[in-house]
Amino acid sequence: MNNLVCLSVDAMGGDHAPQAIVDGVDIFARQATGKVSKILLHGQQEVLLPLLAAAPDAASICEIRHTDSYVSMTDKPSQAIRRARGSSMWNAILAVKKGEADVAISAGNTGALMVLGKVLLGMVKNVHRPAIAASWPSPDGYSVVLDVGANVVCTAPQLVEFAILGEAFSRIAHQKASPSVGLLNVGTEDVKGNDIVREADRLLRGAGLELNYAGFVEGNDVSLGRTDVVVTDGFTGNVALKAAEGTAKLAAYVLKESLMSSPMNRLGAFLSQGAFRKLKDKMDPRNGNGGLFLGLGGLVVKSHGNTDGEGFANALRVARRISAANYMDIIQQNLEQFAKHQKLENQ
Amino acid sequence: MNNLVCLSVDAMGGDHAPQAIVDGVDIFARQATGKVSKILLHGQQEVLLPLLAAAPDAASICEIRHTDSYVSMTDKPSQAIRRARGSSMWNAILAVKKGEADVAISAGNTGALMVLGKVLLGMVKNVHRPAIAASWPSPDGYSVVLDVGANVVCTAPQLVEFAILGEAFSRIAHQKASPSVGLLNVGTEDVKGNDIVREADRLLRGAGLELNYAGFVEGNDVSLGRTDVVVTDGFTGNVALKAAEGTAKLAAYVLKESLMSSPMNRLGAFLSQGAFRKLKDKMDPRNGNGGLFLGLGGLVVKSHGNTDGEGFANALRVARRISAANYMDIIQQNLEQFAKHQKLENQ
């Protein structure tokens, strides 16, 4: 296994691109010495050159791949695909397809990135739909939740494929030896939920997979880290992830207001500011940044669109770890076993 | 409008029943003087009498309605319905049907309460499915979210009915003059989401309802209070609500651990303990306790199953407010208008 990977970065994608992207590469470059061969930086040369001049660590590792066009954050996927050829996002993924880079990273338009990823890289054999996996804070680190937005409607076999893809992601991105996998539902009893989750539960139990399947979990179990991986459809997963982010923001807001409400509280807050920093770090979505588009025929990492340099550096770390770990090999056995099982059942 | 209402309480439902129930009635009784005529307390007399002897405020307002049988927390709704006749839950609802009481309150088995509510009270005219509405903390008070668990699958017209039911609940339970209503989705653009939410969006815009409809909202908008009411199916709503509760718990856990990690932090925490109490109050699910089963032909309030006395007292407060406000009249006009609209569209 060769750990020296090459990353392919869409420098023009994201709400604060290209500044936040170059900032992120700079932060990452300082910590990744000897682990990365180089970074291909796709975007407008005349914009990127001055930014790199102010970021020598990034400059030392980057190779600019010039293109004038880029996908806008507000393009619909259907527009994006028509306009995308030759854009910074397109070129970032194309470099992976050509074997020049190991993984593509973009903070750009999610829908467009998904569509271009599918068009350029195709799907992994035996996977029918890609999924976006997010890392969600839990007491001992992070849980992996997928899908958080690629598929608003899912079938039961798709949920099983997500379980396989997410389990491998948890192994690599969060160094879990044998990640437990839960299926998100409205209760843990086997009569609960809709037909799709009940059927997925049956398949996960009966398909002969090498998987530490723990059954149904509920919404509160995600933050409490009851399982390392939580599988759900992209509608529920997206809403739940954002509901958790909103709740963390509300708690921070209420705490701040209360701490400022009296001199005694303000003094206390000053003395315990170290603790608040820990809380902020833990709940900060930037620290879990770097969702993987699982199931594509090549590696594509999606950063939050409104990320800053710190968050984008995290996405680059996830990308490096994933590409150094041979993700594709890990998922293959379970995917083949599941395809075989489905073929037998549907005969 | 007569504010002197009669409450009908299932004393045997809930993880900590009947102690927590009697505690709650006692707390409530001290604050509700002159607003409640009496409380019917359904359960085992020999168990309830000594509890009331230790709770004189509760005793002064309660009338015990003896029954030996009760619905267990682990019964499936199908079992519950066979065993439920004459149970404390059944009798609590029956008193509403008979007109002896204005509203029934139970912390017992949710599924059973829903089924018994439907069987005994029927549905409000022009409503096809009941929904459970929850009160969710937001910066300026509470948002109403529904459905949070009664229907794992919903049609678009059902979501519209929920919007009407939830809007009226927000008016009464949270004193909003013209509550804004949002439809939960994975994005706010009109191309986002599945067929059901897009169709519900179309109906909410075009059906001529007296409703302050604000369009799609996302998961993070709920805690941030972007709209006063958030409408969703019972699967998504249940997962989102529990995800938020889990996140609040995680934040509390991380904060506590961090504050205890050094003498300086501990001192700071001691000084600002008032602020932490405010945070805890705000995020405490007990304070929003008292979900209403909306759409039934009579009023049924569901308390959290694992509530203590404080939380149950809140459920009783919600019940009193709802029953004093003529909820049924408020929803009638919109429900009729929607039924007419649907009839015309489907001709």
Query: Does some domain include residue A31?
Result: yes
Reduced DSSP (H G I as helix, E B as strand, rest coil) percent helix, strand, coil of chain A, to 5: 50, 20, 30
CATH number at residue A20: 3.40.718.10
Contact, B140 vs B225, CB < 8 A?
Answer: yes
* B251 at interface of A, judged by CB pairs closer than 8 A: yes
CB contacts, 8 Å: A271 with chain B? 264-265, 267-268, 271
Check whether B114 has a pLDDT greater than 80.
yes
Give the up-direction half-sphere exposure of residue B33: CA atoms within 13 A in the CB hemisphere: 4
Query: What are the residues whose beta carbons fall under 8 Å from the beta carbon of B310, sequence distance 6 or more?
Result: B23, B24, B27, B286
The reply to whether B13 and B39 lie within a common domain is yes
Q: Cβ contact (<8 Å) for B274 and A255? A: no
Rounded percentage of chain A residues whose pLDDT exceeds 90: 60
Q: Cβ contact (<8 Å) for B282 and A254? A: yes
Contact, B92 vs B8, CB < 8 A?
Answer: yes
Q: pLDDT (tens digit, 9 = 90+) per residue, A201-229?
A: 999 999 999 999 999 999 999 999 999 99
Check whether B175 has a pLDDT greater than 90.
no
The reply to whether B37 and B76 lie within a common domain is yes
The reply to whether A145 and A51 lie within a common domain is no
Q: Which of residues 111-150 of B touch A (CB under 8 A)?
A: 137-139, 149
Q: Look at residue B117 in the predicted model and tell me its pLDDT.
A: 93
> For chain A, how big is the Rg over CA atoms in Å?
21
CATH number at residue B69: 3.40.50.10950
The reply to whether B97 and B77 lie within a common domain is yes
The reply to whether B11 and B151 lie within a common domain is no
Q: Distance from B279 to chain A by nearest Cα, in Å? A: 6
* A272 at interface of B, judged by CB pairs closer than 8 A: yes
Check whether A268 has a pLDDT greater than 80.
no
The reply to whether B181 and B105 lie within a common domain is no
- Triad B303, B307, B313: Cα angle to 5°: 65
Please tell me the distance from the alpha carbon of residue A143 to that of residue A140, in angstroms, as a whole number: 9
pLDDT band at B286 (very low <50, low <70, confident <90, very high): low
Please tell me the distance from the alpha carbon of residue A79 to that of residue A90, in angstroms, as a whole number: 14
Check whether A299 has a pLDDT greater than 60.
yes
pLDDT band at A1 (very low <50, low <70, confident <90, very high): very low
Sign of CA dihedral A268, A272, A273, A278: negative
Q: How much is the average pLDDT of B230-238?
A: 95
Least confident of A120-134, A239-253, B42-56, B86-100: A239-253
Q: Look at residue A286 in the predicted model and tell me its pLDDT.
A: 61
The reply to whether A226 and A250 lie within a common domain is yes
Q: How much is the average pLDDT of B96-122?
A: 92
Q: pLDDT (tens digit, 9 = 90+) per residue, A17-34?
A: 999 999 999 999 998 878
Contact, A139 vs A151, CB < 8 A?
Answer: no
Q: How much is the average pLDDT of B152-160?
A: 94
Query: What are the residues whose beta carbons fall under 8 Å from the beta carbon of A257, sequence distance 6 or more?
Result: B278
The reply to whether B67 and B106 lie within a common domain is yes
Please tell me the distance from the alpha carbon of residue B212 to that of residue A262, in angstroms, as a whole number: 38
Q: Look at residue B1 in the predicted model and tell me its pLDDT.
A: 42
Q: Look at residue B32 in the predicted model and tell me its pLDDT.
A: 83
Q: pLDDT (tens digit, 9 = 90+) per residue, A224-237?
A: 999 999 999 999 99
* B256 at interface of A, judged by CB pairs closer than 8 A: no
Q: Look at residue A285 in the predicted model and tell me its pLDDT.
A: 61
Domain interval for residue B299: 1-123+295-347
The reply to whether B152 and B256 lie within a common domain is yes
Q: pLDDT (tens digit, 9 = 90+) per residue, A41-74?
A: 999 999 999 999 999 999 999 999 999 999 887 7
Check whether A140 has a pLDDT greater than 50.
yes
The reply to whether A222 and A248 lie within a common domain is yes
Contact, B328 vs B124, CB < 8 A?
Answer: yes
pLDDT band at B270 (very low <50, low <70, confident <90, very high): confident
Q: Cβ contact (<8 Å) for B283 and A254? A: yes
Name the domain boundary from A292, A316, A333: A292
- Residue A26 CA, distance from chain mean position: 21
Q: How much is the average pLDDT of A294-318?
A: 90
The reply to whether A32 and A134 lie within a common domain is no
Q: How much is the average pLDDT of B29-58?
A: 93
Query: Does some domain include residue A97?
Result: yes
Q: How much is the average pLDDT of B313-334?
A: 88
Residue in chain A lying closest to B268 (CA) = A268
Give the up-direction half-sphere exposure of residue B213: CA atoms within 13 A in the CB hemisphere: 24
* A268 at interface of B, judged by CB pairs closer than 8 A: yes
The domain total for chain A is: 2
CB contacts, 8 Å: B238 with chain A? 186, 218-219
Please tell me the distance from the alpha carbon of residue B347 to that of residue B338, in angstroms, as a whole number: 14
Contact, A59 vs A50, CB < 8 A?
Answer: no
pLDDT band at B285 (very low <50, low <70, confident <90, very high): low
- Triad B201, B203, B209: Cα angle to 5°: 110
Q: How much is the average pLDDT of B148-152?
A: 86
The reply to whether A137 and A15 lie within a common domain is no
- Entry pTM: 0.86
Please tell me the distance from the alpha carbon of residue A259 to that of residue A275, in angstroms, as a whole number: 13
Q: pLDDT (tens digit, 9 = 90+) per residue, A144-191?
A: 999 998 888 999 999 999 999 999 999 988 888 999 999 999 987 777
Consecutive H or E run containing A64: strand A62-66
Check whether A88 has a pLDDT greater than 60.
yes
Residue in chain A lying closest to B258 (CA) = A275
Rounded percentage of chain A residues whose pLDDT exceeds 70: 97
Q: Cβ contact (<8 Å) for B246 and A220? A: yes
Size (chain B), residues: 347
Check whether B311 has a pLDDT greater than 50.
yes
Q: Which residue has the tokens 């839950």?
A: B89
Q: Cβ contact (<8 Å) for B264 and A244? A: no
A20 to A52, A69, B196, B284: CA distances (angstroms): 12, 18, 37, 37
Query: Does some domain include residue A263?
Result: yes
Query: Does some domain include residue A148?
Result: yes
Please tell me the distance from the alpha carbon of residue B184 to that of residue B181, in angstroms, as a whole number: 10
Q: Cβ contact (<8 Å) for A243 and B248? A: no
Contact, B270 vs A265, CB < 8 A?
Answer: no
Please tell me the distance from the alpha carbon of residue B138 to that of residue B155, in angstroms, as a whole number: 28
Residue of B249, B268, B279 lying closest to A223 (CB–CB): B249
Cis peptide before B56 (omega within 30 of 0): no
What value does the mean pLDDT of chain B take?
89
Q: Look at residue B79 in the predicted model and tell me its pLDDT.
A: 77
Name the domain boundary from A292, A323, A341: A292
Query: Does some domain include residue A327?
Result: no
* A240 at interface of B, judged by CB pairs closer than 8 A: yes
Query: Does some domain include residue A322?
Result: no
Query: What are the residues whose beta carbons fall under 8 Å from the beta carbon of B79, sequence distance 6 or more?
Result: none
CB contacts, 8 Å: A255 with chain B? 275-276, 279
What tokens were used for A333?
């056995």
Query: Does some domain include residue A232?
Result: yes
Query: Does some domain include residue A213?
Result: yes
CB contacts, 8 Å: B278 with chain A? 254, 257-258, 261
